[in-house]
Structure 1
Amino acid sequence: MESSDLNYELLSKRVARVRERTGLGESAAFLVWFLENIYRLEETDARDAVCDHSNDKGIDGIYVDHNNEEIHFLQAKIRQSDNGKIGDVGPKNLMGSVAQFDAPDKVKTILSGNADDELKRLITRIQLAEMVAIGYSLVGVYVTNESHNTDSEGYATVTPDIVIFDREEIAARMVEVSTTDGKKGTFTFDTSYVDPLKMKIGTNEDDPTMFVFPARALQLVHMDGIADGSLFRENVRYGLGNTSVNKAIRGALAAKASHASFILGHNGLIILCSSADSSKSGRLTIKDYSVVNGAQSLTSFYNDKSKLSDDLRVLVRVVEVQDEALARRITENSNNQNAIKPRDLRSNHAIQLRLQKEMNDADGSYFFEIKRGEKAPTGATVITNDEIGRALLAFDVREPWSAHQIYKVFDEKYAEIFGRPEVTAQRAIFVHRLQGVVGTSLPKLKNRPMASYTLTRYFMLYLLSEILRDNDASRPYVANPASLSAPQLEEFLEKCEEILKTVVVDLNVESKPVDFDYKSILKSPKQGGELAQSILASYEKDVEREKAETFTGWAPS
Structure 2
Amino acid sequence: MQSQDLIYANFPELLKNYQGTGRRESANFLHWFLENIYRLDNVAAADCICDQSNDKGIDAVYVDHNAEEINFFQSKISQKEDTSIGDAQIKTFIGSVAQFDTPEKVQNVLAGNANEDLKKLIIRNELATLVERGYSAKMIFVANAERDHNTIELEKHFPNLTVYSASDIALNYIEFDAAEGIKESFMFDTSYSGFIKLIVDEKTQVFLLPVSATELVKLSGIADGTLFSQNVRYSLGNTPVNKAIAGSVATKAEHKNFSLYHNGVTLICKNATVDQGTEKITVSNYVVVNGAQSITTFFHSATKLSDDLRVFVKIIALESDELSRKITLNSNNQNSIKPRDLRSNHDIMLRLRAEFENSGSGFEFHIKRGQASTAGLESISNEDAGRQLLAFDLNEPYSCHQIYRVFDDKYAEIFGRPEVTYGRIIFLEQLMAVVSEALGELKNRPMAGYALTKYFLLNCLGHIIRLFDEGRVFLSDNARMNAQHSRQEIVQLCKEIAHALVIDFNYEIEAAGPLFDYKSDLKSPDAVKDWRLKLLRSYEKDFKRSKIVGFGKEIGRDIT
The TM-score normalised by the length of structure 1 is 0.95
Residues 67 and 475, structure 2, Cα contact 8 Å, conserved in 1: no
Does 2:296 align with 1:299? yes
- 1:483 Cα deviation after fit: 2.0
Provide closer, same or farther for how the CA distance between residues 158 and 364 of structure 1 changes in structure 2, counting only shifts above 3 A.
Answer: closer
Match of 1:49 in 2: 48
Counterpart of 1:26 in structure 2: which amino acid?
E
Match of 1:527 in 2: 527
- 1:179 Cα deviation after fit: 2.5
> What secondary structure is seen at the aligned counterpart in 1 of 2:162?
strand
- 1:479 Cα deviation after fit: 1.9
Does 2:112 align with 1:113? yes
Equivalent pairs, count = 550
Does 2:458 align with 1:461? yes
Match of 1:498 in 2: 496
Match of 1:8 in 2: 8
Residues 67 and 472, structure 2, Cα contact 8 Å, conserved in 1: no
Provide closer, same or farther for how the CA distance between residues 511 and 78 of structure 1 changes in structure 2, counting only shifts above 3 A.
Answer: same
> What secondary structure is seen at the aligned counterpart in 2 of 1:389?
helix
Task: From 392, 404, 407, give the equivalent of 1:407.
Answer: 404
- 1:446 Cα deviation after fit: 1.1
Residues 19 and 25, structure 1, Cα contact 8 Å, conserved in 2: no
- 1:323 Cα deviation after fit: 1.5
Counterpart of 1:495 in structure 2: which amino acid?
L
Provide closer, same or farther for how the CA distance between residues 26 and 183 of structure 1 changes in structure 2, counting only shifts above 3 A.
Answer: farther
- 1:176 Cα deviation after fit: 0.9
> What secondary structure is seen at the aligned counterpart in 1 of 2:243?
helix
- 1:545 Cα deviation after fit: 2.5
Match of 2:80 in 1: 81
Match of 2:202 in 1: 205
Residues 90-124 of structure 1: per-residue CA shift (max 9 Å, x gap): 11111111112222232223223322222222222
- The CA RMSD measured in Å over matched residues stands at 1.7
Percentage of matched positions with identical amino acids: 47
Match of 1:316 in 2: 313
**Could you tell me how far apart the structure 1 residues matched to 2:195 and 2:52 are?**
53
Counterpart of 2:283 in structure 1: which amino acid?
I
**Map of 1:318-357 to 2, 5 A cutoff?**
318-357=315-354
Residues 184 and 224, structure 1, Cα contact 8 Å, conserved in 2: no
Match of 2:242 in 1: 246
> What secondary structure is seen at the aligned counterpart in 1 of 2:427?
helix
Provide closer, same or farther for how the CA distance between residues 364 and 465 of structure 1 changes in structure 2, counting only shifts above 3 A.
Answer: closer
In structure 2, runs of 5+ residues without a counterpart are 555-560
Residues 480 and 486, structure 2, Cα contact 8 Å, conserved in 1: no
Residues 64 and 72, structure 1, Cα contact 8 Å, conserved in 2: yes
**Could you tell me how far apart the structure 1 residues matched to 2:236 and 2:365 are?**
17
Match of 1:550 in 2: 550
Does 2:286 align with 1:285? no
**Could you tell me how far apart the structure 2 residues matched to 1:296 and 1:184 are?**
22
- 1:364 Cα deviation after fit: 5.0
Match of 2:129 in 1: 130
Task: From 443, 447, 451, give the equivalent of 1:450.
Answer: 447
**Could you tell me how far apart the structure 2 residues matched to 1:451 and 1:123 are?**
44
In structure 1, runs of 5+ residues without a counterpart are none
- 1:314 Cα deviation after fit: 1.0
- 1:391 Cα deviation after fit: 0.5
Provide closer, same or farther for how the CA distance between residues 55 and 205 of structure 1 changes in structure 2, counting only shifts above 3 A.
Answer: farther
> What secondary structure is seen at the aligned counterpart in 1 of 2:284?
strand
**Could you tell me how far apart the structure 1 residues matched to 2:236 and 2:321 are?**
25
- 1:25 Cα deviation after fit: 3.1
Residues 184 and 231, structure 1, Cα contact 8 Å, conserved in 2: no
- 1:451 Cα deviation after fit: 0.9
Does 2:180 align with 1:181? yes
Match of 2:558 in 1: none
> What secondary structure is seen at the aligned counterpart in 2 of 1:474?
helix
> What secondary structure is seen at the aligned counterpart in 2 of 1:311?
coil
> What secondary structure is seen at the aligned counterpart in 2 of 1:278?
strand
Counterpart of 1:163 in structure 2: which amino acid?
T
Counterpart of 2:242 in structure 1: which amino acid?
N
Task: From 503, 506, 509, give the equivalent of 2:507.
Answer: 509
Task: From 207, 212, 215, give the equivalent of 1:216.
Answer: 212
Provide closer, same or farther for how the CA distance between residues 130 and 200 of structure 1 changes in structure 2, counting only shifts above 3 A.
Answer: farther
Counterpart of 1:522 in structure 2: which amino acid?
L
Residues 2 and 171, structure 1, Cα contact 8 Å, conserved in 2: yes
Match of 2:414 in 1: 417
Residues 427 and 482, structure 1, Cα contact 8 Å, conserved in 2: no
Residues 515-546 of structure 1: per-residue CA shift (max 9 Å, x gap): 11111111100111111112111211222233
**Could you tell me how far apart the structure 2 residues matched to 1:503 and 1:491 are?**
19
Deviates more, 1:445-454 or 1:117-126: 117-126
Match of 1:384 in 2: 381
Counterpart of 2:392 in structure 1: which amino acid?
F
Does 2:251 align with 1:271? no
- 1:182 Cα deviation after fit: 1.8
Residues 56 and 119, structure 1, Cα contact 8 Å, conserved in 2: yes
**Could you tell me how far apart the structure 1 residues matched to 2:301 and 2:241 are?**
15
**Could you tell me how far apart the structure 1 residues matched to 2:119 and 2:318 are?**
41
Residues 379-399 of structure 1: per-residue CA shift (max 9 Å, x gap): 211111100110111111111
Deviates more, 1:30-39 or 1:304-313: 304-313
> What secondary structure is seen at the aligned counterpart in 2 of 1:338?
coil
Provide closer, same or farther for how the CA distance between residues 358 and 250 of structure 1 changes in structure 2, counting only shifts above 3 A.
Answer: same
- 1:481 Cα deviation after fit: 5.9
Does 2:532 align with 1:536? no
- 1:214 Cα deviation after fit: 1.6
Residues 542 and 548, structure 2, Cα contact 8 Å, conserved in 1: yes
Match of 1:164 in 2: 163
- 1:23 Cα deviation after fit: 4.8
Runs of 4+ in structure 1 deviating by more than 6 angstroms, as ranges, are none
**Could you tell me how far apart the structure 1 residues matched to 2:318 and 2:121 are?**
38
Counterpart of 2:44 in structure 1: which amino acid?
D
Counterpart of 1:241 in structure 2: which amino acid?
G
**Could you tell me how far apart the structure 1 residues matched to 2:523 and 2:30 are?**
39
Match of 2:90 in 1: 91
Residues 325-371 of structure 1: per-residue CA shift (max 9 Å, x gap): 12111111211111221111111111111111111112251111111
Match of 2:557 in 1: none
The TM-score normalised by the length of structure 2 is 0.95
**Could you tell me how far apart the structure 1 residues matched to 2:543 and 2:507 are?**
17
> What secondary structure is seen at the aligned counterpart in 2 of 1:511?
helix
